[in-house]
Structure 1
Amino acid sequence: MKLSAFIVSLSFSFCVSAQTFSEKTTTASNVRLNVSNSGTFGNAFRGYRDGSGNPSGEYPAGSGVEHLFESGIWFGGLINGSTVAVSTAAVDAPQGYSTGSAGFEFYPEPGATLKEISSLRNSPYYNTSAVSHQDFVATFSDKNVKVPGTNTQIGSHLDPLFVQITAKSYNWNYSFSDFFVILDYELENIGTNTIDSAFFGLWANTVVRNINVTPAGSGGASFYNKGGNGYFDSLQMA
């Protein structure tokens, strides 16, 4: 059985044994969103700590204004109508994604990477199957209870749903569409069990900061006490 999900994000490799974690940053639009082949978005501001400078969820590009700490898909349902199971690609973790850690339960197969294609004919990634000026494409699943290609147990991942996900992200350099990234998902039950009452969601830890004013990694209250959460009636937005 296959399901499709279509989400608009308006806010805008390293290896462990055989398991390959691959990530890229959107650059066609005015949004700099970190995308991985493990179902996560944002890099927990790792790019400012490891020296790469890669943004997490920056908008406008080059402004230093970050909108996202980390995000990831959640999928849950009833296995054969009895066992409640939920698989998550990301959870609230101070250091963000960590291979094998609890809550990071979706993995690509060994050697699989995050594919980039483009509809622009002058792009080195030009491909006739591309939808946008910069597509990222990845396939991953929750079927493994150990990190693929290793003997490392995935923390607390005991009831996989055996769902395989093909995730695609789209962004364009048009001025009228450069402020968002579109996320497109195809979900397939690759197991033998029936999944009933299925739910699909996108969890996000949204931290809005100008890292030029309060650098990522400054730590503790000095970084997190400048929250801007709240609902503005006049703007009808939080």
Structure 2
Amino acid sequence: MWITPGALADESTEGTEGSEDVQSGITVTENITDTGNLLGSHVAEVTDAIAQVKETTGVTVRLMYLSSFNSEEDPATWAGDVLEYLDPDPNTVMLAVASNDGNLVVAVSSNSEDWLKNQTSVDALSDAAQQPLMESTPNWSQSAIAMMDEITVLYTSKSNEPIVLGVAIAACVVAVLAVAVVAVVLVRRRNAKRSRHSAKRRRHSAKRHRGSGRSKHGERKEREDSIPPSGDAGSDVKKEDTELQDGIQETLSQTDHS
């Protein structure tokens, strides 16, 4: 990230209380190199913020404020090379500023985790550090603190990823179960409907069979009613035989008399 030289102004007019290095305009600590006294009296505040970020996120922050990088290399390349030369701990972020050149660079050590060293995170850290410097009076200490606040934001987002993933998986499982329940209900309703229709067809079929049986029985009864009883038919035959025999005997009698 780049800032215009006009936006760079040191805060050397602020209080000079503190170590002998601060009084001489130079601050050099384990994590801070400030040759132009840009942090002024806020060194302790920034140091506390560095310690807090380390405790919360495990990220080591280094701040380097120089008048110039004194290099023809690309500022980002130069800052990255310097950081690697310092043999940094894993997850180390360095904010390097060349106040006379108008350069501001955020470099992340190569042994850092991806959530910190990916380009999206580096850009977010650079933007956060640059915003306080765009004011009418650049606020160098707030620039460093804003970058550290962004580190915490990125870390929190990374830490919440498993929770978000778990919630997403749980939501998918619930959705699948809901679909399964609906499918089971629909199948059961369809089977019940088919069973009702099948039972209804069986009842209708039974009624038709019973009606057909009654019709056949009626026909048989009519046929039986049309046939004379066996006893009456025999009497008629016997009567006719008797009359025939009487006629024959009468004829024979008449013949004998003649």
| Structure with the greater alpha carbon radius of gyration | 2
- TM over 0.5: same fold? no
TM-score by length of 1: 0.26
TM-score by length of 2: 0.24
Between structures 1 and 2, the one with greater strand share: 1
Higher relative contact order (CA 8 A, sep 6+): 1
Between structures 1 and 2, the one with greater helix share: 2
